[in-house]
Structures are given as structure tokens and as C-alpha cells.
Amino acid sequence: MAQNMPEDAGFDRTLSVLKEGYEFIMNRSESLNSDVFETRIMGEKAICLTGSEAAELFYDDTRFRRRDAAPSRVEKTLFGKGAVQTLDGEQHRNRKAMLMSLMDNEAMEEIEMLVLHYWQQYFEEAGSLETVELYEAAKVVFLQVAAKWTGVPLEESETEERAAQISDLFESPAALGLQHWKGRRARSEANDWIEGLVEGVRTGAFEVDNGKALHTFSWHRDEKGELLDKGIVAVEIINLLRPMTAVSVWVAMIGLAMHEFPEEREKLTGAGEERLEWFIQEVRRYYPFFPFAAARTDVDFEWQGYHFEEGTLTLLDLYGTNRHPADWVHPETFMPERFEGWQQTPFNFIPQGGGDYDFGHRCAGEFVTIVMMRATLDFLVNRLEYDVPEQDFSFEFNDIPAVPNDKIKINNYRSK
């Protein structure tokens, strides 16, 4: 006999999710003293999971599927319709292989070089008396990196406007009202922009190098041997442009961490790659970004004595898993050195999802993210001097993605 699953009893919790944001699952898992519990969200029963053991269950694709799991507001802004995030089985494997084929060492070297190049250019062009918001600057710099790397042409004059449009996609999915509609409009405009390029590549009107994502995706054949619909190619190209631009959120958190933990900042000057990487890994663990991953149970099954019914919406807590006491010593302390000699499993550190890159839904761009963050930290610590004026460094836990209120202002900068 299955036991009763711990229950967050009461009314629908959609408003609590909006109010508590990143801490919604953690708060309840603590009060119910359980890594699994049942609740109601958006009018339906939902199971919430946290911790590495539960993450291992969540990424078992014989038990969970992605079809019908993402809320439609997220599909209409963040992911785009028909994106790899929503696929299962053979179709997912084929699409994911297309994305992962880009992620080799050569690509990481190119991205690192582009990040340094565009940061340098950004500060050369900004007048030295101007106050710069690191978050906003990073959006512009990273869209330029992403466009260059994927083969998408981007005129200097349109960079800011396109960066704002692409940012609307990741700033809007959890939003209500106007911000959500801005996201929907941005999605349709961005899709049109890229679809036009795909058409150009296919008719020969626009030439792009054959190693670039725009070329690879335009000519990719699906599991049935057919070219992808141009709308799907656009969605997947935007699946590169959008999250690469969104790494700006973590740049803001790098700025916040350097401000909040000056003793850790001190250790970075002149430090090698390894220490820079511990710092950015701790930023990815300590600060929130993507709150939960969503799936649906694909079969009836039992786990740890609890019954899971087919078709149930299931949320995995990414933020809470990175702070779970079973896996992390002093999880509330910012401690980059914890990453020295650290034992990673596919499930214990999942700011960008867990499991397998090729066969599961783990983020295709995790290495890209690490390279972009490390190169940016290197630039900020070793190549630029600047002052950090007084400002509001706080952020809200129900603002998704969370960014410090003043977006990390810096001024009086000069190169080292």
C-alpha cells in the first residue's frame, strides 16, 4: 500500500508561487520536512520535488515527459512553440543532437574570445564619465557575442533594440499583464526576424559559413529525414540568442557577490582560471535564476512509498536543490572554495537542470554559460578598474529572474 504523500493542504497555491517565488518549494519542503509533497497550482494537482535524490527521479524519462508540462504563457514567450524543451523521445534526441553538435572546445574558445572582445569594445565606446549598469551592458555585449557565434547578422545600430527585444523574452514569462504582453510581442518579432534569415539561407539570398548555427539548423534534418519548419529553426536559433543574452542576469549577480563578499573578491586579483571558476560556480549555486523545471508523469508508479499518478504536473526545485543540506555543507554561506576537489554528480548541482545533456533536458548551454561568466569575471577583475557608487543592491525573491534593483552600477572606469 502506498503511503499518503505529504500535502500542502488548502487552496490553489498559484498566488503563493507568485509571492514566494524561488522559495516556494523550499519553504514547504522545510515545514513538511519532506523532499516531496503535493499541492495545487494553476487549478491542478502538482507534485513538488527537491534534492538530488528527487532530481534523479525527475530526470528518469521512462517516468516523466515534457509534453503538456510547460505553462502556455512560458511557451509563448520564453521557449517558443515547438522548442526542444517541450519534446520527448526520438524527436527530442534528434533536436538535442543538433544543438549539442555546436558545443565543442573550439566553440568555447571562440566564445571566450568574443566575450573579451565585446566587453573591451563596450567600455572603449562608453564615455568614462558615464555610469554603466552592468546588467544592461551585459545584455548588449552578450547579444553581440551570440549573434557573431551563431552567424546572425547584427548591425551596430540595431544592437540595443534587439537586445531589449530578446531580453523581453526572459524577463516576461512569470510576469502578468503588460510585461507578459511585451514578451509575446517580442517573441513574434524575434521569430519573424530569424525566419527571414532562414529563408535567405535556404534560397541562397543570404550566405552564412557552414560551421555557424544558422547554417547547421537551416539544413538540419529531423528524425523523419525532413528539413525543419523555418519557424522551428527560428525558435531554436533564439534558444541560443536568448539564454546567451540572459547570462547578463548572472553578471549582475557576479557584481553583487563581489560587493557582498569583498574578502572573496580580494582572492581573485591575479588568480588563475581555477579560482575564477570556483567563484562563478558559487554564484550559480548561491543566487537564484531559474526557479523550477516542469514535467508530467508519463506512467503510474511508486517512489519511496508514494504513488505518482500518470499525467500529474511535477516541479523540480532547482534553487532549493543547490542549497539542500544533504548535499551542501553550510548551504547559506557564500564559499567559492567549496568547489575545490568537489564531487559532482548529474543531480547535485542543477542551476541549469540535471541529468544528461544528450539524452535528457539538461541545459545545452551550461558550458557556454560557464565560459561567458568566467571570461566576464576575468575582464572585471584583471582588465578593468572602476568605482562602485552607492546604490540599492537588494533584489526580490519573487522577481523572476531576480536582478539587484539598481542593476549593479559602476563608474569612473579605466582599463588596467
Q: How far apart are CA 118 and CA 141, in angstroms?
A: 6
Nearest CB to ligand HEM, comparing residues 280 and 293: 293
Q: Tell me the closest approach of the beta carbon of residue 240 to ligand HEM, in angstroms.
A: 5
Nearest CB to ligand HEM, comparing residues 99 and 208: 99
Nearest of 193, 183, 186, 189 to residue 214 by alpha carbon: 193
Q: Tell me the closest approach of the beta carbon of residue 63 to ligand HEM, in angstroms.
A: 14
Interface residues with ligand HEM (CB under 6 A) are 84-85, 96, 99, 239-240, 243-244, 246-247, 289-290, 293, 318, 351-353, 361, 363-365, 368-369
Q: Which three cell numbers stand for residue 73?
A: 504563457
Q: Which three cell numbers stand for residue 174?
A: 512569470
Q: Which three cell numbers stand for residue 373?
A: 561568466
Q: Tell me the closest approach of the beta carbon of residue 205 to ligand HEM, in angstroms.
A: 27
In the chain, the N- to C-terminal Cα span, in Å, equals: 67
Q: Tell me the closest approach of the beta carbon of residue 269 to ligand HEM, in angstroms.
A: 26
Nearest CB to ligand HEM, comparing residues 65 and 96: 96
Q: Tell me the closest approach of the beta carbon of residue 162 to ligand HEM, in angstroms.
A: 17
Nearest CB to ligand HEM, comparing residues 246 and 280: 246
Q: Tell me the closest approach of the beta carbon of residue 386 to ligand HEM, in angstroms.
A: 23
Question: Checking DSSP bridges between strand 44-49 and strand 313-317, what pairing results, if any?
Answer: parallel
Report yes or no: 371 and 103 within 8 Å, Cβ to Cβ: no
Question: How is 188-252 classified by DSSP, letter by letter?
Answer: HHHHHHHHHHHHHHHHTSS---TTSHHHHHHT-B-TTS-BPPHHHHHHHHHHHHHHHHHHHHHHH
Nearest CB to ligand HEM, comparing residues 13 and 361: 361
Report yes or no: 169 and 242 within 8 Å, Cβ to Cβ: yes
Q: Tell me the closest approach of the beta carbon of residue 128 to ligand HEM, in angstroms.
A: 29
Report yes or no: 297 and 314 within 8 Å, Cβ to Cβ: yes
In this chain, which residue has its C-beta nearest to ligand HEM?
365
Helix and strand numbers (H, E) in the chain are: 15, 10
Nearest CB to ligand HEM, comparing residues 32 and 198: 198
Nearest CB to ligand HEM, comparing residues 85 and 322: 85
The SS3 assignment for 17 reads helix
